[in-house]
Structure 1
């Protein structure tokens, strides 16, 4: 956590472009959430799970390291800019995470050295973060995972509604325990919150416009960017995209962004639902907690008001970029 690479996450807002749009002072504070805070929260859930399962010191170290480092490869503005970094530099957060953990980039050498020093296997770490390892009750690879539990419930705190946000630790305990209907109802409710967050925030019109505005600004200023900019923070990125931050924090952002973009925006809407035919207590979470992905178009109308329409086909591949 004291490393330069991890401290960089303090300068990467948790929700990317929409974070600047949603609320000027979220949660009664002048500070917005960052990927740093989220990563610490995920590590706390991994530590709780290690206690509940009485993991060996080796497994505890591996799980907590993976939790802390799962977002280490996020770009400035996170998923809002990642598609452009992929287009021009072939670099997304999965590859960037590997480069940092293996010390292939300068900012990652300190972390790579620490991993070796404390006996954490880098290959196992990368596999766990990448969802290729089902150990630890599927909390890294399954739909009910540390990252999603912490991230979705943190994101829900941005929404303006009267529904109380569940305690992330309670969701982890219920998912591990699965002792009765109370546990089932809590984990099911969490999955419902994920649908709510995507519907009201991430895939809502402001969320789509925020991502599109960020991506257009980077493309317009791409000559100023290099591959190394992926490993900087948002203050540095904004200096290379004049006017973007000012646009994102405008009170009339929606109308102004629609006016500047002036085109139809393709995006993927994700919906989350529960297959009640799969028993919660059988722990077949991939079969019970499902999602669908629908290609849609956000059309900017003549009056510069956005309107969303469905598509008959999915415009996107199946490699979802998750929160």
Structure 2
């Protein structure tokens, strides 16, 4: 017999995703529910991007960043939702070794990109409210592109660390992933090789991205709050608050859930709770963001009305 050191560990060529539930009735209900959410996600985010591109009134830095947030939401949801829908319809949902790595990497990329874009949007609001006289100079097209490059670079760093970690794992035992997608934590549990270094690498990358983006958001809003409290006009305060409420809502929803997943000790929640929270921040939140911004932003609603009127009378 071969010794354990000489045995070929790369015997696992595919994984079985256990999904959310094995109850047939509940699977049908969840399939219909999540399919509707996904369709609304695609429609809402595509509409947001299209409206911002075609409406000249929305050609401002804030809406440029919003269009990239919509792109990140679509990618984030699409990295897991189609496969999850298939899981509801088949008895055993398998995903190839390479497909699992791609799914893990795409989720990492769009998740990190969302963090970066939310931080960039917070900085944009800081410049608009705290430095309105030099806003157009400080937030030029070149600066906006540079900020987006930083956000996308963070996404690439995250996907690089997760991809390197995944392909360094050796799987020689069970291949059942106790999740509805190839998440990092359940894959670590299946690995039969030393996972110390990959865990440290991924933890440092994710921790750094979350810490930096949360600091940018927190510092931006501290200065925003100080500036608003110094305003003498009640109308000015209300206008300043109204430009931030949509972003603050999106930040609270997203960072609240990823903090639960990545920051809280795993002993504080079960695998089923992890799955439910993952559905919320990877499937539900990408649907909510375009609704939050469209319902609370008068400029977007005004641009939408103008475009609809133009289509009707053209």
Which interval holds the TM-score relative to the shorter structure?
A: under 0.3
Q: Which structure has the higher relative contact order (CA within 8 Å, separation 6+)?
A: 2
TM-score (normalizing by structure 1): 0.27
Q: Which has the larger radius of gyration?
A: 2
Higher helix share: 2
TM-score (normalizing by structure 2): 0.28
